[in-house]
Amino acid sequence: MRTPVVLLTGVDTPTLEAAMVSMLFDLPQAVAVRHRIDVEAQVLHRSVSDLSGVVEREEIELEHACVSCALREDIIPTLERVARDGRWATVLAALPTGAEAGQVCNVLSWDTRLARHLRVATVVTALDGSDIVEDLVGDALLAERGQHTSHDDHRGVGEVAAAMVEYADLVVLSGGATAAGLDLVRTLARPDALVHHGLEAVDGSALCSDLHRHGETLAWSSPVRRDAVPHVDSPLVWAQSLTSRRPFHPGRLLDRLEELGGGRHRSRGCFWLPTRPGRALVWDGAGGQLSIGHGEPWGRRTPHTRIDLAGVGVAPSHLQHSFDDLLLARSDAPVGAGTWDVAEDGFEPWLGPIRVVA
């Protein structure tokens, strides 16, 4: 018998912990496992509690304070331990603020030993509804709010919060969310994900069912997703998908990244460069903060460029024109079978040397 695990994520500690307390009362025979990372002290705080009170509380010194170390050294082992304890029927795992659920889900999908005892039932993202638009498309950094997970965590709040919404099976907003904020969340969330306004709307018994579909979640949240973005039926938000089989021109893209990556909107997807044709490159941005990195090899798939964008209000009028102009044109040189044989392309600070990764 595998114990269902409800994973709880968020970018604001008070909201996350309020959701944890509320859900602990609703989930059947539940135990709550809460982890917090103290970046300055290099300490991981763990508390385990149920309706009878605190079961255990401990501080674990980390060699390097980061989510990966916390998962490996204590979060995953603790989830397995409490699941095998026999006292509880459900495990509610409140991950460190700013930590995404994907790593836990991935581990439980391939680790057959752990999978004999644990199953991810639902991934829940809890956000402050009163600040939801700012959290999703504002320019604040996690570190500016004291919610970063390591000394080198320079992620934007919007980038992380939007990714959590996109990965979640259930998004719950506490406080007074605006209609535009709710519609933006629904636009970013997986089409079959649940969106609730208010912690009281969460049905604890439903969270123990199999709301989480790992394959469908990966397909929706993947940078190389191919499915069409659902139509946005709201006058308060906009969404636009920019697609092409052509790569971006490295020079033009480097000079004009802000035309697509800047502004109060969420943008994500994949692209390729003629200098690095073998691998999908990841585009991940929100609120003017943009991350570019390595994705998976294209393999037998046809390389393509796709940037999905969403925001509140009216879409910027220049997006399609800028996208088209950044793509590689027939008149661009040097061109040879769609790829360039050059020593450098300007993206080395983000992607490393061409010869190593191409």
* Domain 3-221 sits in CATH 3.40.50: yes
For residue 57, CA distances in Å to 36, 46, 114 come to 11, 6, 23
Q: Percent of the chain scored above 70 by pLDDT? A: 97
Find the helix or strand (DSSP H, E) in which 304 lies. none
Domain extents in the chain = 3-221, 237-357
pTM: 0.94
Structure confidence at residue 339 (pLDDT): 66
CATH architecture of 237-357: 2-Layer Sandwich (3.30)
Find the helix or strand (DSSP H, E) in which 244 lies. strand 237-244
Structure confidence at residue 292 (pLDDT): 95
Per-residue pLDDT band for 115 (boundaries 50, 70, 90) equals: confident
Rounded CA gap, 150 and 20, in Å?
Answer: 23
Express each pLDDT in 269-312 by its tens digit. Answer: 999 999 999 999 999 999 999 999 999 999 999 999 999 999 99
